[in-house]
Structure 1
Amino acid sequence: MNNNKPNTTNFIKKLINKDLLLNKYKIINTRFPPEPNGHIHLGHAKAICLNFGIAETYKGVCNLRFDDTNPTEEAIEYVKSIKKNINWLGFKWNERAHYSSNYFDKLYSYAIDLIKKGLAYVDNLSHNAIKLFRGTLKSPGKSSPYRNRNIKESLILFTKMKAGKANEGKACLRVKINMTSPNITMRDPILYRIKYIKHYHTGNKWCIYPMYDFTHCISDAIEKITHSLCTLEFQDNKQLYIWLLNNINFDIQPKQYEFSRLAVEYNITSKRKLNILIKGHIADGWKDPRILTLSGLRRKGYTAKSIREFCKRVNVTRQNSNIELNVLEACIREELNENTIRIMAVVNPIKIIIINISKTHKELINIYNHPTKPELGNRELVFSKEIYIDKNDFRETPHKQYKRLALGKEVRLRNAYIIKAEAIEKDIKKEVTNIYCTYDSYTLNKKPLDNRHIKGVIHWVSSKDCIKAEFRIYDKLFNIKDPNASIGFLNYISTKSLVIYKGLIEAYILKAKLGESLQVEREGYYCVRGICYSKINIVLNRIVTLKHSLRFPPNKS
């Protein structure tokens, strides 16, 4: 895959172009039909960009329609989050939002018509018996003993089902097609089942609810959708989609086209599996930054622009593939590299004491906020007797290739002076607590006067100009590339998907806004997720590492 060349013409657009040349449609109508049983994820973002993008390209319309036919898991909070995330991505649906539940009366009347035509019947087999009678890919199904129930009796029983006079699981409505079809979906699929659960949108009006396959094609037809775009797992349902529309006799019939689902390495993009992670308290709800829900990505610090760019770079094809995680990370990294202010922080601090300056020394060093964009302004660093560096940037006994601070060795402080480690102080555990250094006062952003070669540059903060901060280091939730393919995917949860450090950051952070992104030099890009001025408590989420950089030591907080 060429990650730098977004796909501009996919096979779906080619089909639409052909349809327009043949004058099949005057206007292109698409739809995005999420089920409100959780927050939408990156896979949904691909479908959103495709459906709304096609409507924009061809000056058509795209409907937002909630597929709310299963009240068991659906809730108004999910409706709100879906709307919020679609708007955040930068898309607007046609007029008001639609709901499949708004069509329940029409769907019921169409079901009655199918019974009257002898094409549907009430079945009293149990759920397990229906599954058993349906057969397998290798063996044909066999007819239910209720399949030839007369039309009048099915009408009476279906009316009783609607009136709440039948027990849940004891009756359902099935369509009569072909129990020996090689496509199992066509072996008398269920149209309606009984559920005595209050619906978030219709309340207690209904106790029978239509199945997705019955609802979806009819909703498309009612809304005059021209191109019904769905993922490949629905290709076996396409035959039923067409059969139902033909037998309900709609004048204008939508066409279903399938494209591949989105899968990203080291991640789960199945709402069912995400729900398992959340209910098992492995993920901290739908907004956990370690999962690929849009809410989680937003909380982590991803932007709408970066998500749209990612969706452009991922081809819309019929070939399933597992997209490399670095494709997603490259999109946000490229955007942030262009427009984020650079700031210094020490995640794992150790104190440096400059022995050849006084305690009252406080020197201001003016630096740019971005190396190539002076329009982003500048700021002042404080250079003082006591500063902090990262513990990883000091070695008591370094190897030959070590280019940072070591006893008797020199290193440059970023945007400041060259320092030399002269001595160290240790605690009772024999761990280094203080490093005593000298600094060369003639080397402020300059080479030494004797032209000695200094290889290393490290970041730092001043004790007189830093505040405490919490750094949340998010990494891959899974330690295998394709957890989607594993039945036991829960066995591959990484123990290092979140590591929290208590460190120090420049006081300049107090000028940042909640949700603002910054580059912490040499460490990565971070999003400001918490600012409490009274307690000086700063919380930063790592969005993504710098390219080819992962500086943090193993799990330690």
Structure 2
Amino acid sequence: MSDSPKSDFIRDIIAADLASGKHETTITRFPPEPNGYLHIGHAKSICLNFGIAQENAGIGARCHLRFDDTNPEKEETEYVESIKADVKWLGFDWGENLFFASNYFEFYYECAVHLIKNGLAYVDQQTADEIKSTRGNLTVPGTPSPYRDRSAEENLELFAKMRAGGFEEGEAVLRAKIDMASPNIVMRDPVIYRVLKAEHHNTGDAWCIYPMYDYAHPLEDALEKITHSLCTLEFEIHRPLYDWVIDNCPVPAKPRQIEFARLNLNYTVMSKRKLLQLVKENLVSGWDDPRMPTISGIRRRGYPAAAIRNFCHKVGITKFNGITDVALLEFEVRDYLNTASARRMAVLDPLKLVITNLPEGQSEDIELDNHPKDPAMGTRQVKLSREVWIESDDFMEVPEKKFYRLGPDRHVRLRGGYIVKCTGFEKDDSGKVVKVNCEYLPGTKGADAPAGVECRAAIHWVSAEHGVPAEVRLYDRLFTVEDPDGAEGGFVSVINPDSFKTISAWVEPALLEAEPEWICQFERLGYFVADRHDHKTGEKAVFNRAVALRDSWAKK
């Protein structure tokens, strides 16, 4: 699938604004809060905001990467760096347009002073519980604060005292003075500043008051002259406050907020709080655990950035919330890797196969295509030796109907090599088959089976003499139910116990030389990536399964 854009209601609005002359260019922004790692839902927003800028690059369009770092209690530099890495990995670049909301703290303060002077903000000394209890509900209007009608002079003095550290946390807040009877509860004198005596990752201890997101965000957009502020639907109810702040503060521009449906996936949780819980409780190995929906997690699992962009393209931009089947994401990964990835042989459940008529110490070169449909990927040579590893399930002592692989007196082709005939097998004390003996048929390497020989299948293999051991990690969906958020026992209760398995496998020697994050298809098994942390080129082979060749959950 192409990365080329398809029309949607947001792009239609932008095209109309450009055509009418309302804007000469388009400026969007991606504004993550650095309080966790980005997830696949953020990828949709990244592709939208940066994609629109790319599509309009000819008229100077751009997308800002802005960190909304106004809450020092939850934000860390680690998250800032991870977000930068994720955006770049997805294929986007902000250039010189990197901004931090915390660099605008003085501007927010000046705007708050402006509101106070104009009778549009006041210092409230009620407790948080008292403020909450007087907000009212959808049928009952709010009750005005007893401090609502203080004079501008008194409010200015108290607000300056807040900045100077004269109040402890929870003793005073600054509220916008709007309408306590508004049918939109968001507009009932929302808090726009609170006291937080916490160290900030960017400004240190320069401030002890911090703006609320709903107040700071429109000011950031205006200061950066954003033309279209694209948000998910949960911010639709906040849009009147966004516009109120823009209309009543001394800002250089008037951005337009437009909402779209967020990405929701089944078998997945997207809440940062829940993802953090998984990490903190060691239910996963970290933010980049390949089972996590974080961008760093799906990258480590082996999902290519192009496949993620294709997925976001296919999901599209709408105004209606819904649930997207994670199978669509997995399909896009398979679809991309089927074309883009080379083939290699690996055996995950090894069974020894001895070619008894091939002398010990002798081996033959077998030439294999690196991709069955792409000659440009070239070929490679592997060694066929007397003893090879095959998959255990490629042999059956008593073959079932429609089983065409190896069994007593049966023939099968070793991928790229000879046809072999099973001549016997050995079992251990438990009755498990541990070795299969066979003979190769001379003249069948690269040639059809001779008359009278039925050979209807080819199996992959790895030379026992030349292959290398590998640690292979089999990942699956983290949850067993489609809606883990709605699980009766909580989302943790439906974690899939089979979502992660480590096995010892045998692989082609070339896989030991692969660079971290190199992706290939293990023939007949699935798509695998060299782990970006634990795979050591030339020393230790560690591969993660990105996705199986087929959707095993469809039957379930």
Same fold (TM over 0.5): yes
The correspondence of residues 167-246 of structure 1 with structure 2, limited to 5 A, is 167-246=168-247
SS in 1 for 2:474: strand
- Aligned AA (2:542): V
Q: Sort the Cα spacing of 1:279 and 1:292 in 2 relative to 1 into closer, same or farther, 3 A.
A: same
Residue 546 (structure 1) aligns with: 549
Residue 378 (structure 1) aligns with: 379
Give the superposition deviation at 1:547: 3.5
- Aligned AA (1:11): F
SS in 2 for 1:273: helix
Residue 525 (structure 1) aligns with: 527
Bigger shift: residues 230-239 or 476-485: 476-485
Residue 276 (structure 1) aligns with: 277
Give the superposition deviation at 1:87: 1.9
Matched, 1:26 2:24: yes
Q: Sort the Cα spacing of 1:342 and 1:257 in 2 relative to 1 into closer, same or farther, 3 A.
A: same
Bigger shift: residues 474-483 or 497-506: 474-483
Residue 249 (structure 2) aligns with: 248
Residue 38 (structure 2) aligns with: 40
Bigger shift: residues 368-377 or 260-269: 368-377
CA distance in 1, matches of 2:296, 2:226: 29
SS in 1 for 2:541: strand
Given that residues 382 and 465 in structure 1 are in contact (C-alpha distance below 8 angstroms), is that contact kept between their aligned partners in structure 2?
yes
- Aligned AA (2:442): S
Q: Sort the Cα spacing of 1:347 and 1:112 in 2 relative to 1 into closer, same or farther, 3 A.
A: same
The correspondence of residues 59-458 of structure 1 with structure 2, limited to 5 A, is 59=57, 60-93=61-94, 95-250=96-251, 252-458=253-459
Give the superposition deviation at 1:202: 0.4
**Partner deviation per Cα, 1:189-210 (whole Å, 9 max, x = no partner):** 1001111110000000001000
Q: Sort the Cα spacing of 1:540 and 1:519 in 2 relative to 1 into closer, same or farther, 3 A.
A: same
Bigger shift: residues 130-139 or 495-504: 130-139
CA distance in 2, matches of 1:295, 1:284: 12
Give the superposition deviation at 1:70: 0.2
SS in 1 for 2:186: helix
Bigger shift: residues 120-129 or 443-452: 443-452
Give the superposition deviation at 1:225: 1.0
Corresponding residue pairs, total: 547
TM-score under structure 2 normalisation?
0.94
Q: Sort the Cα spacing of 1:278 and 1:357 in 2 relative to 1 into closer, same or farther, 3 A.
A: same
Q: Sort the Cα spacing of 1:11 and 1:548 in 2 relative to 1 into closer, same or farther, 3 A.
A: same
- Aligned AA (2:35): N
Q: Sort the Cα spacing of 1:136 and 1:316 in 2 relative to 1 into closer, same or farther, 3 A.
A: same
Given that residues 474 and 541 in structure 1 are in contact (C-alpha distance below 8 angstroms), is that contact kept between their aligned partners in structure 2?
yes
**Partner deviation per Cα, 1:396-447 (whole Å, 9 max, x = no partner):** 2232222222223222221122223232222222222111222222322322
Matched, 1:17 2:18: no
- Aligned AA (2:545): R
**Partner deviation per Cα, 1:79-123 (whole Å, 9 max, x = no partner):** 112112222222222524111111111111111121222221111
**Partner deviation per Cα, 1:306-338 (whole Å, 9 max, x = no partner):** 222222112111111222223222323222222
Bigger shift: residues 288-297 or 248-257: 248-257
Matched, 1:482 2:480: no
TM-score under structure 1 normalisation?
0.94
- Aligned AA (2:127): S
% identity of equivalent residues: 45
Q: Sort the Cα spacing of 1:485 and 1:7 in 2 relative to 1 into closer, same or farther, 3 A.
A: farther
- Structure 1 portions without partners, runs of 5+: 551-557
Give the superposition deviation at 1:257: 0.2
Given that residues 5 and 313 in structure 1 are in contact (C-alpha distance below 8 angstroms), is that contact kept between their aligned partners in structure 2?
no
Given that residues 517 and 529 in structure 2 are in contact (C-alpha distance below 8 angstroms), is that contact kept between their aligned partners in structure 1?
yes
Given that residues 7 and 313 in structure 1 are in contact (C-alpha distance below 8 angstroms), is that contact kept between their aligned partners in structure 2?
no
SS in 2 for 1:240: helix
SS in 2 for 1:158: helix
Aligned Cα root-mean-square deviation (Å) = 2.0
SS in 2 for 1:472: strand
Given that residues 262 and 269 in structure 1 are in contact (C-alpha distance below 8 angstroms), is that contact kept between their aligned partners in structure 2?
no
CA distance in 2, matches of 1:533, 1:259: 44
CA distance in 2, matches of 1:426, 1:138: 77
- Aligned AA (2:12): K
CA distance in 2, matches of 1:20, 1:500: 54
- Structure 2 portions without partners, runs of 5+: none
Given that residues 4 and 313 in structure 1 are in contact (C-alpha distance below 8 angstroms), is that contact kept between their aligned partners in structure 2?
no
Bigger shift: residues 198-207 or 251-260: 251-260
- Aligned AA (2:262): R
- Aligned AA (2:437): Y
CA distance in 2, matches of 1:356, 1:56: 62
**Partner deviation per Cα, 1:490-527 (whole Å, 9 max, x = no partner):** 22211111111101001121332222111100011111
Given that residues 269 and 485 in structure 2 are in contact (C-alpha distance below 8 angstroms), is that contact kept between their aligned partners in structure 1?
yes
Given that residues 356 and 439 in structure 2 are in contact (C-alpha distance below 8 angstroms), is that contact kept between their aligned partners in structure 1?
yes
**Partner deviation per Cα, 1:434-478 (whole Å, 9 max, x = no partner):** 112222223223222114332232211111220100111111111
Give the superposition deviation at 1:249: 4.7
Give the superposition deviation at 1:549: 6.4
Give the superposition deviation at 1:533: 6.1
Given that residues 514 and 537 in structure 2 are in contact (C-alpha distance below 8 angstroms), is that contact kept between their aligned partners in structure 1?
no
